Copies of this chain bind each other. A is one copy, B any other.
């Protein structure tokens, strides 16, 4: 069912039918009604490819998947894509998902993507501290939004959670439990989120009057093995930490393992706090105390915000900072001492 056939059927020209369907004001109410009714009756729907070519609007946005280096499935993309897809489909727009083969090729890939006309906007995730992709998009004045932030994030749109504050909360909590030697299990700091969380850790130590011990900071992969190895190293030192803060729940789970392997019990001898609020943490041994961040609506939010920007909104008006909350389960507790042990 093409526009041409519909027009013939209605004894109108294609242009008129098109304008009637698109609610142009220069079509009488009568014929507009007639056209729209017949179109519905005959099941006419404009060919999106033709419309996109004619209007120059791609009617689609791309989600750039974070490269999952550790070959670990990212637990959030599914939820995020659901929300994004919903936001877009209400407009009849498409959601494209891309992933570059390597991080080096990403800027090039992105450049090709935005110059190809296939998409009207882009959502970027897990940015680096200085992200070439963000600079590229800014220079091209191409609509985009970032899930997360880079160092300079004043001039573009983003949706993020204040993980610096979150880590501060975690550290403060541990300090309030008496911990002074707190290990930090981090990730490579070219990821901005990793840097920010490290900053949060340092700040928290500072305002709690605790001297920073560089030996207590470990940078490792974002998975359980990374956490286990890093925590193990710290625990085997002469003066091991009594608590750990991790940038990620999966790491934290590895930390739990490292602790148990050494005959200690997490939450008693050594505390650990994760980050993400994975449901799964309810079932670790012991259940994982963690910082939970709202994940459900992020996709939806990102989609709506990006669409507003594509509609001409000022990116600076679309910066949303959520906060994470401490979820106490069982992996945190007061500093363990032999004396306290003896008493109980």
Contact = CB atoms under 8 A, between A and B. Distances in A.
A68 interface: yes
Interface string A47-66: 11110110000100001010
A78 B82 contact: no
Interface string A248-263: 0000011011000000
Given A73-B78, A85-B99, A94-B118, A283 B257 contact: yes
Contact of A285 (B117, B284, B296): B284
Interface residues of A, number: 51
A280 interface: yes
B58 A86 contact: no
A28 to B, nearest CB: 29
Contacts of A82: 65, 68, 99
B285 A48 contact: no
A223 B74 CA distance: 18
A282 B94 CA distance: 38
A279 interface: yes
Nearest to A47: B117
A89 interface: yes
A78 B65 contact: yes
A54 B267 CA distance: 65
A344 interface: no
A206 interface: no
Nearest to A63: B97
A47 B53 CA distance: 9
A112 B50 CA distance: 16
A71 interface: yes
Given A53-B49, A72-B279, A81 B94 contact: no
A23 B310 CA distance: 38
Contacts of A97: 63, 81, 85, 95-97
Contacts of A77: 73, 77-78, 81
8 contacts: A49-B49, A71-B79, A73-B76, A73-B77, A73-B78, A224-B279, A253-B280, A253-B283
Interface of A: 45, 47-50, 52-53, 58, 63, 65, 68, 71-79, 81-82, 85-86, 89, 94-99, 101, 112, 115-118, 223-224, 253-254, 256-257, 279-280, 282-285, 295-296
Given A48-B118, A49-B53, A73-B79, 9 more contacts: A45-B116, A50-B53, A65-B78, A73-B78, A78-B78, A94-B96, A94-B98, A97-B97, A257-B282
